[in-house]
Structure 1
Amino acid sequence: MAQQHPEEWDAHHGGGGRSRSPGPAEGRLLAAHVPVPAGGRCLDVGCGTGELARHLAASGYLVDAVDRSAAALTEARRAAGARVTYRRLDIEHDSLDRLPPASYDLITVRPGRAVVRDRTRVLNRLRERLRPGGALCVITPVADAVPEHERGVALDEEEIGLLSAGWESARRYDADGLALLVLRGPAPAPPVCAGKGRPTPHALTGAGVVVTDPAGRVLLGWSVRGVWELPGGKNDPGEDFAAAAVRELEEETSLKADPGAAWVRAVLMDSVHGIPRVTAAVQVTRYTGEPAVSEPQLIRRWEWHEVTDLPVLARPLFTPSAHVLDTVWPGLLPDLPPVHRYPVAEG
């Protein structure tokens, strides 16, 4: 799913492009499933030119409307009515500390959410802004129901399922051909580890790579087999663990690192389907580039995750990745499957 940059949205809105106004079905569903409580406050994420924000304000909400496009907000303010405050905010790259915690009865996110790469992290930060009993409402086109050129702002069924995980209640409705999701009651779950099926029978050796961004977030990929996993893979013949880590990191994510910046922290041994498995826990301390999906047959996307979110991911961690993460951050992930860990002294 292609990402769009702020300047692309600025060009769209600066050229007269506008956000879609809520349709009749959308309006009825919002009124029925997220009615305005006394003193109700709403955060409209990716507000564009403000059509939904003004609809919610007219319904009775006091609305904070945010968008990363300056051109869109300029247009929104021209039509601004009472009860709407617009501000520029990139929910993926800016700090959300400017948004008060536990302050909103409703958070709405329309199609722009599909172009956010680190959706799991961003969603975790947004739901911290909900009041008890509040709802997060995502309104999105569905990929299978839109033309190819519109799929950049649409979610497919797998993405919708991933989005709905980790909530006590996740209801889906049809709104003028869009999927309207009403999510209530954040329900963090303990970590669950899972395999990805039976591997090809051979001696399994490889490396799992921990790489962090300047903010200390760790990179994980969402696998086609339905688990989160670190970059990494098997050794090539004659290749050491550090070299394998650097090669796999570049092949899978396009990030480039020197083997001298790859530190083997420990060697781990467990078994899978009766086959011994040896994994080197490798930490890369310097790299260049930005993560990109280069092997879509294996990984759907890469996301930077807050380390503190790892114990409550709503979907499983690949077991060797969980062991590698527990090597770098001991005790972070409780009750992991058994593993033999052999620490390596720092050179």
Structure 2
Amino acid sequence: MGYTTPEEWDAHYTDGKTFRQLGDGERRLLDEHVPAPGSGVALDVGCGTGELARHLADSGYRVDAIDYAPAAVDLAHEGSDGTGDITYRVFDIERDFLNDLPHPAYDLITFRLSFAFIRDRTRVMNLLRERLRPDGTVCVITPFAAAVPDSKRGIALDEEEIGLLYSGWTVAERHDADGLAFVVLRDPASARVTCAGKKRPSPHALTGAGVVVTDPVGRILLGWSARRGVWELPGGKNDGDEDFLDAAVRELEEETGLKAGRRDARLLALLMDSTHGIPRMTAAVRVTAYSGEPAVTEPDLIRRWEWHEVTDLPALAQRLFTPSAHVIDAVWPGLLTGLPPVHRYPIVPAEVPEPTQQAAEAASLRQEMADRLIEDGWMDSGSTIEAAVRRVPRHRFLPGIMLEDA
């Protein structure tokens, strides 16, 4: 079941296909571990036909049931008997703005048979953690990879993926619900990103490139190396007769499937440190344009690619590969603190073209800020100060700060 678009999921539901019904074991664990508090509000992500949402409503929750497939939401509406406080909405948890959800915060956030279909799991979970009320809970109910045939691997999580799910939570419990993994996550734990090296490399001249590439709204692409237990940028060693820019665009395509030209790559700095006593030179390369979507092409090296919010990197729950951290610091100086020592040799200023959508959003926020300052009497309309406030991209001088805060 390799569905990737709302249209494919619509076809799934309109063809009469569905998922296993909510079992007695799930109901018992839900009632035991996440009983509804007074005025409790729940968010059911990937609600499907609404069976879990109706159970939560019967348990006393006000429920926001969301799914990005309109056909699923229609079926959920049809299956409702009108009792219980449930709001159904077509909503893409990965791409839509969470401010558009019906409620600003939740006591319970559930993923039933849906978490395995989320691509940028770390980013989504980081965003949802911020939407939990104090003492709130995230509950993930998922098939386990060892219990499903290889043809259905895409609907399940394995031990490593469940372990990643635990990262960043003080309380992480796992129960069995009729053969499904029932994961309860509570109390988000504050963390600081740590860096990690790899095993001793084969003896040779260690030179290569680390590539920073961002999506249209400024999210950075990182790959999870299960073998090494680190997040890392695309990139790798350059061949003997290959310069850093050629190596960067080649490695980007070989590792992720994203295609870029040499003209789209900018060399920002050379970074030199050492590993196991061997000098290591990393070229910090910024790719400003590309085509395609990230894909796992070398699963023995990188298990998955995810877009991450740049502002989430300082608190990344898992380790970040040291050279990747140095390259990120070359693009956003000061974003990451406490980095291992490195010799930095800047090539060009770190200023790079800004993603179009991010620039447009920042410009809109500047206009709103200027209007508010004039309305509140802090600034005169038509003044040179107003012109500066509307024009200066203040967020470009505040790496790691959300656009709204800048």
> TM-score higher than 0.5 here?
yes
Q: What displacement does 1:346 show?
A: 5.2
Question: After the TM superposition, which of the residue ranges 250-259 and 76-85 deviates more from structure 2?
Answer: 76-85
For 1:201, give the aligned amino acid: P
The question of whether the paired residues in 2 share the 8 Å contact of 1:3 and 1:117 is answered with no
Which consecutive residues of structure 2, in runs of 5 or more, have no partner in the other structure?
A: 351-406
* Among candidates 116, 119, 128, match of residue 117 of structure 1: 119
3-state secondary structure, aligned to 2:30? helix
Could you tell me which residue of structure 2 aligns to residue 169 of structure 1? 171
Are positions 1:190 and 2:192 aligned together?
A: yes
Could you tell me which residue of structure 1 aligns to residue 262 of structure 2? 259
% identical equivalent positions: 67
Residue by residue, what CA displacement relative to the aligned partner does 1:289-345 show, whole Å, maximum 9, x if unpaired? Answer: 111111111111111100000011110000000000011000111000000001002
The question of whether the paired residues in 2 share the 8 Å contact of 1:22 and 1:51 is answered with yes
Q: Aligned ranges for residues 264-283 of structure 1 at < 5 Å?
A: 264-283=267-286
- CA–CA distance in structure 2, aligned partners of residues 260 and 193 of structure 1: 31
The question of whether the paired residues in 2 share the 8 Å contact of 1:19 and 1:51 is answered with no
C-alpha change, 1:13 and 1:147, in structure 2 (3 Å) is same
How many residue pairs get aligned? The number is 347
The question of whether the paired residues in 1 share the 8 Å contact of 2:123 and 2:307 is answered with yes
The question of whether the paired residues in 1 share the 8 Å contact of 2:64 and 2:102 is answered with no
For 2:60, give the aligned amino acid: G
Over the aligned positions, Cα root-mean-square deviation in angstroms equals: 1.4
Could you tell me which residue of structure 2 aligns to residue 289 of structure 1? 292
Could you tell me which residue of structure 1 aligns to residue 26 of structure 2? 26
Residue by residue, what CA displacement relative to the aligned partner does 1:183-205 show, whole Å, maximum 9, x if unpaired? Answer: 01111311110112111111100
The question of whether the paired residues in 2 share the 8 Å contact of 1:264 and 1:344 is answered with yes
3-state secondary structure, aligned to 1:299? coil
The question of whether the paired residues in 2 share the 8 Å contact of 1:40 and 1:60 is answered with yes
- CA–CA distance in structure 1, aligned partners of residues 102 and 336 of structure 2: 29
- CA–CA distance in structure 2, aligned partners of residues 45 and 6 of structure 1: 14
- CA–CA distance in structure 1, aligned partners of residues 10 and 290 of structure 2: 31
- CA–CA distance in structure 2, aligned partners of residues 240 and 149 of structure 1: 42
The question of whether the paired residues in 2 share the 8 Å contact of 1:102 and 1:132 is answered with no
Q: What TM-score, normalized by structure 1, do the two folds share?
A: 0.97
Are positions 1:62 and 2:65 aligned together?
A: no
* Among candidates 221, 231, 234, match of residue 231 of structure 1: 234
Residue by residue, what CA displacement relative to the aligned partner does 1:97-132 show, whole Å, maximum 9, x if unpaired? Answer: 212675210000012211111110011111211101
The question of whether the paired residues in 2 share the 8 Å contact of 1:188 and 1:313 is answered with no
Could you tell me which residue of structure 2 aligns to residue 243 of structure 1? 246
The question of whether the paired residues in 1 share the 8 Å contact of 2:284 and 2:327 is answered with yes
- CA–CA distance in structure 2, aligned partners of residues 132 and 142 of structure 1: 29
3-state secondary structure, aligned to 1:84? strand
Q: What displacement does 1:284 show?
A: 0.6
* Among candidates 323, 343, 349, match of residue 320 of structure 1: 323
- CA–CA distance in structure 2, aligned partners of residues 274 and 332 of structure 1: 28
- CA–CA distance in structure 2, aligned partners of residues 287 and 232 of structure 1: 15
C-alpha change, 1:62 and 1:189, in structure 2 (3 Å) is same
Which consecutive residues of structure 1, in runs of 5 or more, have no partner in the other structure?
A: none
- CA–CA distance in structure 1, aligned partners of residues 7 and 88 of structure 2: 19
C-alpha change, 1:16 and 1:3, in structure 2 (3 Å) is closer
Residue by residue, what CA displacement relative to the aligned partner does 1:250-307 show, whole Å, maximum 9, x if unpaired? Answer: 1111111111111110000000000000000000111111111111111111111000
C-alpha change, 1:203 and 1:3, in structure 2 (3 Å) is farther
- CA–CA distance in structure 2, aligned partners of residues 234 and 59 of structure 1: 56
For 2:296, give the aligned amino acid: V
For 1:297, give the aligned amino acid: D
* Among candidates 158, 161, 183, match of residue 159 of structure 1: 161
The question of whether the paired residues in 2 share the 8 Å contact of 1:99 and 1:129 is answered with no
Could you tell me which residue of structure 2 aligns to residue 301 of structure 1? 304
The question of whether the paired residues in 1 share the 8 Å contact of 2:222 and 2:308 is answered with yes
Could you tell me which residue of structure 1 aligns to residue 224 of structure 2? 222
- CA–CA distance in structure 2, aligned partners of residues 73 and 314 of structure 1: 34
Could you tell me which residue of structure 2 aligns to residue 11 of structure 1? 11
Residue by residue, what CA displacement relative to the aligned partner does 1:218-243 show, whole Å, maximum 9, x if unpaired? Answer: 00001132110000000111111111
Are positions 1:338 and 2:341 aligned together?
A: yes
3-state secondary structure, aligned to 1:22? coil
